[in-house]
Amino acid sequence: MSLIRSFLIVSCLAVSSVFAADFKKDIQPILERNCYECHSLKTGKKKAGFVFDDLETFKLDIKDNDVAQIRPGKPAESHFLEILVNDGKNHMPPNENLSSAEIKKITEWITEGASFEKDAPKLALTAVKKNLPPIMSWTNVDGKTIKAGFVRLDGANVVLRMPLNAAEVPYPLTKLSEASQKLARDCAAP
């Protein structure tokens, strides 16, 4: 599978200070609700060859190399996460969006090392924080998508960093969709 990526996506939520994603408790139920329908060994639906209910198989997609869907500790380089947050043709689940809370959990889980074991050692976050410009999808009230990084909340505005020239642009919160306003608040939370 080729990883075509013109921009990096890493949710700012990855660098939040609460690391508490437990695969069985937090991640598996999200995949069960949103993905098993089309990606399951049990039901035999293996769209694009992926199954997420059989952990032995799923594990093969989790590795630190260029073709792996999930790169432990590197949410911005994990195709699996990118297609959950992008608005491209290969967006997953098709025609639906995970909630920002679900995306946040998955991002945390990948950032911490994408282990199935609850007590696995967590990866450090500093490298992720320093090297990867966070670029996310925002939606405004007109339904238009804006690709930008979160910088900070500033009064009634969210300051976004534009991917092309890194300009910081204040954007009125009230002009964003409810979900994107919530995302901005989540991003600003310590």
Q: How many CB atoms lie within 10 A of CB 43?
A: 12
Of the candidate residues 1, 127, 141, 156, the single one contacting ligand HEC (CB under 6 A): 1
Q: Does 38 bind ligand HEC (CB under 6 A)?
A: yes
Please say which residue, 70 or 160, places its beta carbon nearer to ligand HEC. Answer: 70
Cis ω on the peptide bond leading into residue 93 (within 30° of 0)?
yes
Nearer to ligand HEC, 102 or 112 (CB): 102
Residue 55 binds to ligand HEC (criterion: CB under 6 A) = no
Among positions 94-113, residues that touch ligand HEC (CB under 6 A) are: 94, 98
Of the candidates 18, 20, 25, 37, which one interacts with ligand HEC according to CB under 6 A? 37
In whole angstroms, what is the distance from residue 178 CA to residue 103 CA? 16
Amino acid at 189: A
Task: Report the distance separating Cα 129 and Cα 133, nearest Å.
Answer: 8
92: contact with ligand HEC by CB under 6 A: yes
Distance of closest approach, residue 120 Cβ to ligand HEC, in angstroms: 21
Chosen residue from 13, 15, 21, 39 binding ligand HEC by CB under 6 A: 39
Angstrom distance (rounded) from CA 104 to CA 17: 12
Residues 138-177 that bind ligand HEC (CB under 6 A): none
Structure tokens given for 184: 């901005």
Contact 90, 82 (CB under 8 A): no
Nearer Cβ to ligand HEC, position 40 or 139? 40
Tokens of 40: 């399951």
Tokens at 90, concatenated: 């290969």
Q: Which residues bind ligand HEC (CB under 6 A)?
A: 1, 34-35, 37-39, 47-48, 50, 69, 80, 83-84, 90, 92-94, 98
